[in-house]
Structure 1
Amino acid sequence: MKNNLSYRLIRPISNEKWQPITIPLVSILISFIAAAIVILLIGKNPLQAFYNLLQGAGIMPKPSYAGYKSMLTDFLSLLNAMTPLVFASLAVAVAFRAGLFNIGVSGQMLVSGFLATIIVGYSGLDAFIAKPLVLVIGIVAGGLMGGLVGWLKYKFNINEVVSTIMLNYIAQYVISFFIQMYYVDPISRQSKYISDEARLTLVNVDIANLKMDIPLGFLLAIIIAILIKFFLDKTVVGFEIKAVGSNRNAAKYAGINVGRNTVLAMTISGGLAGLAGVTYYLGYFASIQPKVLSSIGFDSIAVSLLGNSHPIGIIFSSFLVSIIDQGSTYMSSQAGIRQEISSVIIGLILLFSACGAYMKYKVSRLKEKEVERKEIES
């Protein structure tokens, strides 16, 4: 009787075809229930808090807006913040597919953003040359860093987690030195602001008496997510990368060049991280803060897990996490809940997303027991 009841409860996620969608949705639902309990424990209304999150992110209207602002401008700001997160999460997902863990996305972002800043951001080049060049530099710089990690893994069997963490520190402090010595703004104590021609976000564009921030990289992020899906699912190289990630020994036995595909996967991952870097440091922001690694490089791990490392799933999971992040300030001011609660929600999403494999296992076991029960009854 107990097993029968358990099977009924898990039936909505028992279809293996739909599990890549249903299990993340269940994870999100459980995460928000847990977050609601936390909010209740501090004496606040969780429904009001979640509604304020949506208002702050431009999904729901606010009671009033400042001059030249509206729900649309808030939503465009959400897309602007979401763009580098999509690229960073795709970087993590590609490495995951090859059985690798690219925890160095933040460092790759920083190196790409810094090089694009000093080469193009301060150059005075025309926008039609500067903006594409920024993207190219991001891909090349990030790809070289990622490729180095893949080569160290293949050539010397150096664990990619160790090498990426070390490279994060190297990038953080070396670039901080150069910014503070040569490129620091004496007022902001950050790197000098880049030119508008090199920036990948059009800032304060006056349309219909509204001042909007238009993220030029957003459509590129969507297109690249689709291309990555096609590459991984429909090409020979994509199949080889997934084969290496599934079982390196079996892939080697089948004649697949494990070393080449390891380096290639990390190069692609680094290139995507580089795009995240330029859309962050030369898009969402226009300068670099010394000694600080972007949290996006670490949030992208949660986003990739939540999206089941699927490029299209990552778009939706990036959207959700960006809503929580962007809406936290307004939630704090309206509901009287500290902004750190948004980090708690993201942490809970990561926790329950990481349990996805366990959920699949439990569903499979319950299905087997249900089949056995029916056979006994018949």
Structure 2
Amino acid sequence: MHEKQSIWKKLISRTLGNKKTQSVTIPVFCVLIGLIAGAVVIAVLGKNPFSAYYNLLQGCGLAPKASYAGYKSILTDFLSFLNYLTPMIFAALAVAVAMRTGLFNIGVSGQMLAAGFLSSILVGYSGLNAVLSKPLVLLIGILAGALVGGLIGLLKYKFNINEVVSSIMLNYIIQYVCSFCINTFYVDPVSRQSKAIAPAARLTLADTVVGNLKMDIPLGFVLALIAVFAVKFLLDRTKMGYEMKAVGFSRSASRYAGINVGKNIVVTMLISGALAGLAGVTYYLGYFASIQPRVLSSTGFDAIAVSLLGSNNPVGIIFSSFLITIVDKGSTYMSSAAGIQAEIADVITGIILLFSACSAFISYLLSRVKDEEGRKDK
């Protein structure tokens, strides 16, 4: 028995113990364990977990369905998936940038709503043509998100107000102010949501006919990929990124080294808010074309877990966003095809994130195993 345990320890240690690759191997290991645990839950319900997971892929256009409705195909499903994925990438990047400086931006959903609302009323209802309105939507979204994020950073710097408290309070303020304005001035009497924006201002080319297909083409997806590599370059290759990282490790040591801690806190939250603003416009003026009053998008909160799953690495966020969005987006088709309640997808996501949250503990265990092996070799 002890020999078998020793073999397993050595195998796991050699597979996951390399510190240079742990940022990739440990999250992948956690995801696999989470998927296995999710499969057990599905099996307990009397369903086939392999079929259920395949249904998730089918619902996202990553696997073919048995049949499709008119004007639809696997390609239209995949483009709809990318459309849903785009705001998640921006939102997770917003969380990751804040965490680089040791800040916890839990106000991404509020920043998304502020950006989406201001862009809608200033451009979405303006009647401008597409050439002017689409860039303006992006610009207003960036400025609105940065304004809210910068305010959180300023409150932290000037008055040492915890960013979690201020961002939660701003979430409520933005939520109810936008709700009041929508219900008073911009409500659609039929849907009880805000009036739909003009197609020219929308960042998704909805129902675009290509051949015999009607596609939703997400213009923001390419911008999201550009943002990933721009943030990666900023954090890893610039003086600003180095200072942000230093402030995140120790503010007192950074001050001693001559780094302006206050400036870095404010700038970090400005950048984080700007990314959240892009998430907002690609969500409210991209995937959707209106805003539901008194509701904050869950994307801003899910992005916290997605960023952690991606180890707060911009490139890792692409893969973690992809995985979580597959489970979320594909849950509807899984429910109809396999007869499994869509809420089970949330359970699977929660299990994956729970195991991913243990990555630091797994890293600690691996270091202990390696220390034991080192003592035995001596």
- Classify the TM-score, shorter chain: over 0.9
Give the deviation of 1:208 after TM superposition: 1.9
Q: Is the 8 A contact 2:124 2:197 kept in 1?
A: yes
SS of aligned partner of 1:203: strand
Task: Report whether the alignment pairs 1:344 with 2:347.
Answer: yes
Task: Give the letter aligned to residue 85 of structure 1.
Answer: M
Query: Is 1:101 aligned to residue 104 of structure 2?
Result: yes
Asked if residue 359 in structure 1 is aligned to residue 362 in structure 2, the reply is yes
Partner residue, 2:272: 269
- Residue equivalent to 1:180: 183
SS of 1:168 mapped into structure 2: helix
Q: Which amino acid aligns with 1:186?
A: P
Q: Does 1:313 align with 2:316?
A: yes
Give deviations 1:228-269, integer Å, cap 9, x for gaps: 000000000110001101111111111111100001111100
Contact residue 103 and residue 298 of structure 1 kept, 8 A: yes
Asked if the contact 1:3/1:366 (under 8 Å) is kept, the reply is no
1:193 maps to 2:193? no
TM normalised by structure 1 equals: 0.98
Superposition misfits of 4+ residues, deviation over 6 angstroms: none
Moved more, 88-97 or 364-373: 364-373
Q: Give the letter aligned to residue 263 of structure 1.
A: V
Gaps of 5+ in 1: none
CA distance in 1, matches of 2:194, 2:317: 31
For the 8 Å contact 2:309–2:353, the answer to whether it is kept is yes
Q: Which of 199, 206, 212 is the matching residue for 2:215?
A: 212
- CA positional deviation for 1:348: 1.3
Corresponding position of 1:55: 58
1:290 to 285, 293, 309: 293
> 2:233 and 2:244 mapped to 1: Cα distance?
13
TM-score (norm: length of structure 2): 0.98
Cα distance in structure 1, aligned partners of 2:354 and 2:249: 23
Q: Identity, % of aligned pairs?
A: 65
**SS of aligned partner of 2:214:** strand
Q: Which residue of 1 aligns with 2:250?
A: 247
Which runs of no fewer than 5 residues in structure 2 stay unpaired?
A: none
- Counterpart-to-counterpart distance in 2, 1:210 and 1:111: 34
**Deviation, structure 1 residue 8:** 2.1
Q: Residue in 1 aligned with 2:376?
A: 373
Write out per-residue CA displacement over residues 252-292 of structure 1, whole angstroms, 9 at most, x where no aligned residue.
11111110000111110000000000000000000000000
Query: In structure 2, what residue type is equivalent to 1:84?
Result: P
- Residues 18-33 of structure 1: pairs in structure 2 closer than 5 A: 18-33=21-36
Q: Give the root-mean-square deviation of aligned CA atoms.
A: 0.9
Instruction: Tell me the CA shift for residue 9 of structure 1.
Output: 2.4
d(CA) in 1 for partners of 2:72, 2:8:
52
The number of residue pairs the alignment matches comes to: 375
| C-alpha distance in structure 2 between counterparts of 1:3 and 1:105, whole Å | 46
